C-alpha cells in the first residue's frame, strides 16, 4: 500500500539549539515545553541528538536530556537521534538507557550513529579508541548482548539494562548505514535534513537487503527533514533565514548560536548552490505549500515515519510550525 503524509506518524528531532542572547538552560526549559506541546498534538517521538563543541547546540549529554524530557511528559516516546556510539563504551550506553527504560517503560528509543558528532579534534578528545568507528557493527552487537536476558550468566552485565526493552535504531547519512540496518534487522533513520544526496539509494538498499530479526519482521524506515511552516509563506521564508545562517555557519566554519530572522539576509552567490544542496529536503511555507511538498516527499520515498527538525528562533513560531503539520494531516 502506498504511503501518504496523512497516515504516517510524525516525530520531532531536537538539537537543544542555543539561541543568540540565551544560554543552554533556556534551551532545556523551552525544549521541555516543545515536547509537552508535541505530546498534546499527537507527535509520536521526541528525539535528541548528540553533538559536541558546538556553540549553537546544547545536547552533548544526550541521555541526561532524554531523562529530562521523559520526566516532563507522559506518553510520547523519547530517545536519541542519536547516541554516537564510537564516543562511548557500549556497557555504559546499555546502563544509561537501561536506567531510562526502567524509569519510563515502553517510552525510550536508542538511535545509534557511527559518526562522532563533532570536529576531528573533539572526536580525538572523546573517543576511547581511534578505531572505534570501524568497530561500529561489533559495538552494536555488544549493546544487543547487554540488553539480552541471555546475558544473565555473562561475566559483564548491564544492571539495569539486562532484559529491558529498549528499541534500537541504526541512524545514517550514507549507504553504509543502510547495509548495516538491513543486515541487523533493525529500524533505520536517515538524516536527509543535512545529508540528502544518498537518501533514495540508502532506502532502496535497506529495503532490498532487509533480513527479518527478533527485533523487526519487516523494514521500517524514517527520514528526517527540515520543516518551517507558518500561517503565511512570507512569514515562513523570513523565519527560515535563521536556518539558512545555521548551514552557512557549517560551510564557513563560523558556527554561532541560532540567530534571529534577518529580513536583509541574502545568500552569498559563492555558497548558493552548495547551500541549496544541503537544504534539498527543507520544506518552508504556509500550510498549503508544505502539505503539497511533504506529500510529494512521502510518495517519493515511501517512508514509514517522518521526523522534523525546525531551526526556528522564536519559541511561539516553532510551536506554531508543529501545530500546522498536525492540522495539515487532519485536513488531508
How does pLDDT run across 40-67, given as a tens digit for each residue? 999 999 999 998 888 889 999 999 999 9
- Check if the beta carbon of residue 51 is closer than 8 Å to that of residue 57: yes
Q: Tell whether 288 is covered by a domain.
A: yes
Residue-range definition of the domain harbouring residue 316: 1-7+227-332
Quick: pLDDT tens for 290-303. 999 999 999 999 99
Quote the pLDDT of residue 28: 97
The distance of Cα 264 from the centroid of its chain, to the nearest Å, equals: 30
pLDDT bracket for residue 228 (50, 70, 90): very high
Separation in Å, CA 152 to CA 13, 231, 281, 305: 34, 55, 45, 35
In a domain, 173, yes or no: no
- Find cell 527560515 and name the residue: 240
CA–CA distances in Å: residue 187 to residues 54, 144, 227, 269:
28, 14, 23, 39
Give the count of beta carbons closer than 10 Å to the beta carbon of residue 268: 10
User: For the residues of 3-53, what is the DSSP string, one character each?
Assistant: --TTTS-EEEEE--BPBTT--HHHHHHHHHHHHHHHHHHT-SEEEE----S
Residue linked to cell 502539505: 291
Q: Does the pLDDT value for residue 157 go beyond 70?
A: yes
DSSP character at residue 286: -
In this structure, the number of other CB atoms found within 10 A of the CB of residue 218 comes to: 9
Residues 86-123: tens digit of each pLDDT: 999 999 999 999 999 999 999 999 999 997 656 677 76
Asked whether residue 328 is assigned to any structural domain, the reply reads: yes
Residue 102 lies in a domain: no
| Cβ-proximal residues to 110 (8 Å cutoff; 6+ apart), any chain | 79, 80, 82, 83, 93, 97, 143, 166, 167, 168, 169
206 in a structural domain: no
> What is the CB neighbour count within 10 angstroms for residue 137?
14
**Does residue 87 lie in a domain region?**
no
Pairing of strands 305-309, 282-285: unpaired
Place of cell 518551517: 228
For residue range 166-215, what is the model confidence (pLDDT) as tens digits? 999 999 999 999 999 999 999 999 999 999 999 999 999 999 999 999 99
* Domain count within the chain: 1
CA 57/CA 140 separation, integer angstroms: 26
pTM for the full model?
0.94
Amino acid at each position: 500500500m502506498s504511503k501518504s503524509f496523512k497516515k504516517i506518524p510524525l516525530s520531532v528531532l531536537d538539537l537543544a539549539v542555543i539561541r543568540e542572547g540565551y544560554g543552554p538552560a533556556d534551551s532545556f526549559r523551552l525544549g521541555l515545553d516543545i515536547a509537552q506541546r508535541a505530546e498534546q498534538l499527537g507527535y509520536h517521538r521526541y528525539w535528541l541528538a548528540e553533538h559536541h563543541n558546538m556553540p549553537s547546540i546544547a545536547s552533548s549529554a544526550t541521555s541526561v536530556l532524554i531523562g529530562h524530557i521523559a520526566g516532563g511528559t507522559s506518553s510520547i516516546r523519547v530517545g536519541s537521534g542519536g547516541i554516537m556510539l564510537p564516543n562511548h563504551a557500549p556497557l555504559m550506553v546499555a546502563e544509561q538507557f537501561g536506567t531510562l527504560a526502567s524509569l519510563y517503560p515502553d517510552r525510550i528509543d536508542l538511535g545509534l550513529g557511527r559518526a562522532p558528532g563533532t570536529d576531528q579534534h573533539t572526536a580525538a578528545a572523546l573517543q576511547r579508541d581511534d578505531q572505534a568507528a570501524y568497530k561500529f557493527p561489533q559495538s552494536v552487537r555488544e549493546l544487543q548482548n547487554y540488553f539480552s536476558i541471555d546475558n544473565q550468566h555473562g561475566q559483564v552485565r548491564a544492571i539495569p539494562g539486562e532484559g529491558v526493552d529498549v528499541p534500537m535504531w541504526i541512524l545514517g547519512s550514507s549507504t553504509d548505514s543502510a547495509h548495516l540496518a538491513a543486515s541487523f534487522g533493525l529500524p533505520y533513520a536517515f538524516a536527509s535534513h543535512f545529508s540528502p544526496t544518498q537518501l533514495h539509494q540508502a532506502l532502496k538498499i535497506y529495503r532490498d537487503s532487509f533480513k527479518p530479526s527478533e527485533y523487526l519482521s519487516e523494514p521500517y524506515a524514517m527520514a528526517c527533514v527540515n520543516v518551517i511552516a507558518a500561517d503565511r509563506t512570507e512569514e515562513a521564508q523570513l523565519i527560515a533565514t535563521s536556518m539558512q545562517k545555521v548551514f552557512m555557519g557549517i560551510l564557513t566554519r563560523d558556527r554561532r548560536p541560532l540567530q534571529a530572522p534577518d529580513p536583509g539576509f541574502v545568500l552569498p552567490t559563492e555558497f548558493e548552490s552548495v547551500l541549496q544542496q544541503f537544504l534539498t529536503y527543507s520544506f518552508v511555507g504556509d500550510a498549503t505549500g508544505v502539505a503539497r511538498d511533504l506529500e510529494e516527499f512521502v510518495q517519493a520515498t515511501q517512508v514509514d515515519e517522518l521526523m522534523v527538525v525546525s531551526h526556528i528562533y522564536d519559541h511561539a513560531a516553532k510551536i506554531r510550525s508543529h501545530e500546522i503539520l498536525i492540522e495539515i494531516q487532519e485536513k488531508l
